[in-house]
Amino acid sequence: MGLAHNRRRHAALAGGGFTLIEILVVVLIIGVISAGVLLSVTLTGRDRDLEKESDRLVALLNYAREQSELQTREYGLIFQDDSYEFVAYDTRRGLWRAVFEDDALGLRKLPDGLDLKLVVEARPVVLKRPADAKDKTPQVMIYSTGDLTSFEVTLEREGGVRSISLAEDDKGKVVAKPMVESKGNRA
């Protein structure tokens, strides 16, 4: 009885498992479904680089504003065609300089494919590299009182396909507006 029982138990165990082929088919199906979900999210207008960079800029602006108030020090923000940098006013020298004490406020390059547009006091600003690298005069001021120069900066995908604008809301907090997708500019 012992030998016959072991054979039946072994036969039941051998037929009850999955073969390598079955496991590979399941993994392939999961991979195809995952790729489909990823593509559908990308095609629905999500632009992770654009969202990430706008979130970072909002956080850094609010952080610089807090630091300006805490330190009773004037800060500023310089926008260039492919980057932005926070600066601080040096009262002893009477000039604007890079913020070397705080790495978070250093020069930030935009990811490839993103551009900036800036409007200060309701006037568009032409963004370019300064002729003099020592010229650190900011376009946007962050005063020690917590006030900001009136501005709107727009981060956009090259060609203006998608964009996110940042500005002060009615409560004085810098916020990102919802992403705008322009279907007319697509190639």
Question: Strand, coil or helix: what is 6?
Answer: helix
- Supply the Cα-derived Rg of the chain in whole angstroms: 28
pLDDT above 60 for 106: yes
Residue 147: Cβ-neighbour burial (10 angstroms; 0-12, 13-18, 19+): middle
Q: What are residue 117's DSSP bridge partners? A: 154
pLDDT above 80 for 166: yes
Q: Quick one: which of 149, 127, 183 has its CA closest to 76?
A: 149
pLDDT above 80 for 70: yes
Task: Say what the pLDDT of residue 10 is.
Answer: 52
What are the backbone dihedrals phi and psi of residue 153, each rounded to the nearest 5 degrees, phi first? -115, 140
Determine if the pTM surpasses 0.75: no
Domain limits of the chain?
A: 2-43, 48-185
| Residue at token pair 């079955």 | 22
Q: What percent of the chain has pLDDT over 70?
A: 80
Instruction: Give the CATH architecture of domain 48-185.
Output: 3-Layer(bab) Sandwich (3.55)
CB atoms within 10 A of CB 137: 11
Parallel, antiparallel, or unpaired: how do β-strands 140-142 and 114-120 relate? Answer: unpaired
